[in-house]
Amino acid sequence: MKITLRIWRQPAADQPGRYERHGLADVSPDVSLLEALDQLNEQLISAGQRPVSFEHDCREGICGSCGFLVNGQAHGPRRATSVCQLYLREFEDGAELTLEPWRAKAFPAIQDLMVDRSAFDRLIAAGGYCSTGTGQAPDGNALPVGRDQATSAFSTATCIGCGACVASCRNASASLFVAAKLAHLGQLPQGQPERASRARAMQDQMAAEGFGSCSSNLECEAVCPQEISADWISWMHRERRG
């Protein structure tokens, strides 16, 4: 099939960017969008031009490295899918795809489709853990965790830290990211001792990093590759008050 990629090119954060159009005349519908970018980059390199920079690694939807907007949608049109799992068979022959980086104050631009998401690490460092040492721990069966409770905690713990929720939010809020971590630990007995202080510390850090607040547009839930529910954001707000 044939596709055209309209890609945001920006050499560095302090330099202006612009869109660049590149066509792929003969590409298999069974390659992923990232593999189409690989193919484009081989062409650019052979032609002596600078290849397109984009983050990627595992290419199976779990490391959270990749992510950009495809035609205005974080990770593209398919639900519950990160961009590495988006295959060209999803698009019509001859389609034009506009690829842009995440845009948020807390995610400074680096180059082309790459942005700096280290703010997420600082959110976790602010309190996204159980303060337990390593070495000797009590028997894991000593604290029973019901199956439904474990399943629910797991469903929030699956967040891959890609940043799509921030990129899709009109306020560039990290509420879903933070709520998911608070809900993961807050639903388990191990997370109880620090539950309140964790909720305060992570939400304070979110504001300090320049993320906005939630105005319930639910775009975050719609683009989340792990389908984490935005209901946890309301849960988080109750945590704060409690």
Least distance between other proteins and beta carbon 62 (Å): 5
Q: How far apart (Å, rounded) are the C-alpha atoms in residues 140 and 180? A: 23
Instruction: Please identify, using beta-carbon distances, which residue of 103 and 215 lies nearer to other proteins.
Output: 103
Q: Which of 121, 212, 200, 226 is nearest to 175 (CA)?
A: 212
Q: How far apart (Å, rounded) are the C-alpha atoms in residues 159 and 184? A: 10
Least distance between other proteins and beta carbon 183 (Å): 11
Least distance between other proteins and beta carbon 174 (Å): 14
Q: How far is CA 174 from CA 13, 167, 211, in A?
A: 22, 9, 6
Instruction: Please identify, using beta-carbon distances, which residue of 94 and 193 lies nearer to other proteins.
Output: 193
Instruction: Please identify, using beta-carbon distances, which residue of 195 and 237 lies nearer to other proteins.
Output: 195
Q: How far apart (Å, rounded) are the C-alpha atoms in residues 74 and 167? A: 7
Length of the chain equals 242
Least distance between other proteins and beta carbon 214 (Å): 23
Q: How far apart (Å, rounded) are the C-alpha atoms in residues 97 and 4? A: 6
Q: Which amino acid is at 70?
A: V
Least distance between other proteins and beta carbon 215 (Å): 27
Instruction: Please identify, using beta-carbon distances, which residue of 64 and 101 lies nearer to other proteins.
Output: 64
The residues that bridge with 18 in the sheet, in sequence order, are 9
Instruction: Please identify, using beta-carbon distances, which residue of 213 and 221 lies nearer to other proteins.
Output: 221
Least distance between other proteins and beta carbon 236 (Å): 17
Instruction: Please identify, using beta-carbon distances, which residue of 167 and 214 lies nearer to other proteins.
Output: 167
